[in-house]
Amino acid sequence: MTDILDRPASTNSDGRAEPLLRVSHLTKYYGHVAGCLDISFEMRPGEVLGIVGESGSGKTTLLNCISGKLAPTSGSIAFNSRRHGLVDIYDLSEPDRRRMQREDWGFVHQNPRDGLRMRVSGGANVAEPLMNLGRRHYGDMRQATMDWLSRVELDLGRVDDKPRNFSGGMQQRIQIARNLIHNPRLVFMDEPTGGLDVSVQARLLDLLRELVRDLGLAAIIVTHDMAVARLMADRLMVMKGGHVVETGLADQVLDDPQHPYTQLLVSSVLQI
Amino acid sequence: MTATEAYSRPNAAPEDRYYTYAYLDEQTKRMIRRAILKALAIPGYQVPFGSREMPVPYGWGTGGIQLTAAIIGPEDVYKCIDQGADDTTNAVSIRRFFATVADVATTEDTGEATIIQSRHRIPEQPLADGQIMVFQVPQPEPLRGLEPRETETRAMHAYGEYGLQYVSLYENISAYGRIAATAGYPVMIDERYLMSPSPIPKFDNPKMHMNPAILLFGAGREKRIYAVPPFTRVRSLDFEDYPFETQSWDEVCALCGANDSYLDEVVLDDQGQHMFVCSDSHYCADRRAKGHAGPMAGHALAHIETEIAAEEA
């Protein structure tokens, strides 16, 4: 098992890395209501993609489809997993897909309560992905948990406290540690700093950016906060009404928005 | 026909006696037997069944009573224990229930019984080929405390994703420095299905491994039946650096001197005096009848116990 997970990403014959994720013509309807329409893009290892747009623009639908939680109406989502190579995730059998999600992915929810088990301690929450991958040595897992808690700058003395006894920002740090401890290839983040106050948000973003760069992680960050998008993302996709209206390098999109909606979005950011 | 006659007809003609024999109607027993066969075919898998309303509340052993009612026959010898003891209220009531509705012989002797219904314990005396243990289970889903969604736990069983169960053991070690869980300790059945062995102490877990008897588990409220067929591998979960251990005591049984049985602590007065006695009442009585004596065997009240033991022997 370990040997498969240690295998580097497969490459093309010309030596370029294969895409990590390839989304083609992804469409999701809820009955007659469109969630997202005809979305295509590719991601390379180590790339951070920001998806921005207002509420109801289809960001979360898109994220849920890509992360295997919601089957799309049409289109395909191919992910380059360590175990299966580049395959459509909905072509995999359910146990294979679930295993791929455990091994290769992390998912940071906006509300830590959705991403953490509130009835077990912070430490056990962080160690759970290791147990899910078949690790059965308590001492080793404990050590890894401690390492990660210090990486996300949490007080090690509180490792056995329940998540409810931590503040919102600390809960989010636990969630981040839990989603990075098993060395994923792709991390999904749904408004990772939503609901936190501004100073906590700033520290958390700083931390996230550092971790993502250090680990060379690929990440998809869904946010409606332009500042988060600018700070974290290499590339931006702007969504409106289920469509991608503009895409490009983050700085380019934010500094020189082309589409009227993007212009509106960028100009709506409050200045102090 | 009076209500009493309907349930207890020791002298009725055989065809009358077998119709709605043992409280449940024939269709219900048939349904439960099918569930039992499926459970035996897939060791450790929780088979849903249409649990009936019983004349006792959920939580008092409705699952076990339905299992027993479905498998019992007039030739069976029935034993029922609660916390290891034959003489506690629940055990006496359920035993009397089956003596009435199924017209069977009852016993306290583990070796003599063909069906042993239990909550909390597996008898100390090793079970034999041909015996059936029936367990009353409050919560059949070992993962429930960690994962509240039934759809999710079913998927986890189907795909053998049992990493989550280790989270509870991890919690134990980080809180207490050892795996402190004592009852309902999760087990792997034949290296495939994770199973909750009902609230038996983990002391009894090793007894299930390669056991010659049939072990049936019934959860009335949760409407699940599962089973461990004879000679099935049963492994208690543990970590590489924290291996599975059973409870042990520094004391021996105060009455019979046994050092190999599961002991209950009994508080004797308000000054902190206490004694340890075998939880398995038949095992203890049997040993005393054979002349074994514990440190408190000569107690002022002990002669009552000795007399009872002698009468039974």
Question: Mind listing the pLDDT tens digit of every residue in chain B (313 residues)?
Answer: 344 444 445 555 666 666 788 999 999 999 999 999 999 999 999 999 999 999 899 989 999 999 999 999 989 999 999 989 999 999 999 999 999 899 899 999 999 999 999 988 999 999 999 999 999 999 999 999 899 999 999 999 999 999 999 999 999 999 999 999 899 899 999 999 999 998 899 999 999 999 999 999 999 999 999 999 999 999 999 999 999 999 999 999 999 999 999 999 999 889 888 999 999 999 999 999 998 988 887 766 666 666 776 776 6
**B199 to A219, B119, B183, B196, B203: CA distances (angstroms):** 45, 7, 5, 8, 11
What are the helix and strand counts (H, E) for chain A? 11, 10
- Domains of chain A in start order, with CATH, are 21-267 (3.40.50.300)
The active-site residue, picked from B50, B253, B291, B298, is B253
Backbone angles phi, psi at A103, to 5 degrees: -85, -40
The active-site residue, picked from B63, B80, B220, B284, is B284
**Rg for chain A, CA atoms, rounded:** 19
Q: Which of B298, B136, B126, B281 is nearest to B212 (CA)?
A: B126
Query: Residue A86: what pLDDT?
Result: 92
Q: Pick the residue from chain B with its C-alpha nearest to A132.
A: B163
Query: Residue A204: what pLDDT?
Result: 86
Query: Residue B311: what pLDDT?
Result: 74
Query: Residue A231: what pLDDT?
Result: 87
> Considering CB atoms only, which of A94, A123, A131 is closest to B166?
A131
Mark yes or no for CB contact B242/A119 under 8 Å: no
What residues are paired with A219 via a beta bridge?
Answer: A48, A187
Sign of the CA dihedral running B224, B229, B231, B232: negative
Q: Pick the residue from chain A with its C-alpha nearest to B241.
A: A137
Query: What's the complex ipTM?
Result: 0.86
The active-site residue, picked from B184, B218, B220, B278, is B278
Cβ(B135)–Cβ(B195) below 8 Å: no
Q: Catalytic site residue B80?
A: no
Query: Residue B297: what pLDDT?
Result: 79
Q: How many CB pairs under 8 A join A and B?
A: 61
pTM above 0.80, yes or no: yes
CA–CA dist B226, B198 (Å, integer): 11
Cβ(B174)–Cβ(A121) below 8 Å: yes
Q: Give the start-end residues of each E strand in B220-292.
A: 224-228, 234-236, 263-267, 274-278
With an 8 Å Cβ cutoff, is A114 touching chain B?
no
Query: Residue B16: what pLDDT?
Result: 63
CA–CA dist B228, B202 (Å, integer): 16
Mark yes or no for CB contact A160/B175 under 8 Å: yes
With an 8 Å Cβ cutoff, is A137 touching chain B?
yes
Mean per-residue pLDDT pooled into runs of 10, chain A (272 residues): 55 66 95 93 92 89 93 94 92 94 93 91 95 94 94 90 91 93 93 83 86 89 88 92 93 92 87 71
Mark yes or no for CB contact A95/B173 under 8 Å: no
CA–CA dist B86, B165 (Å, integer): 33
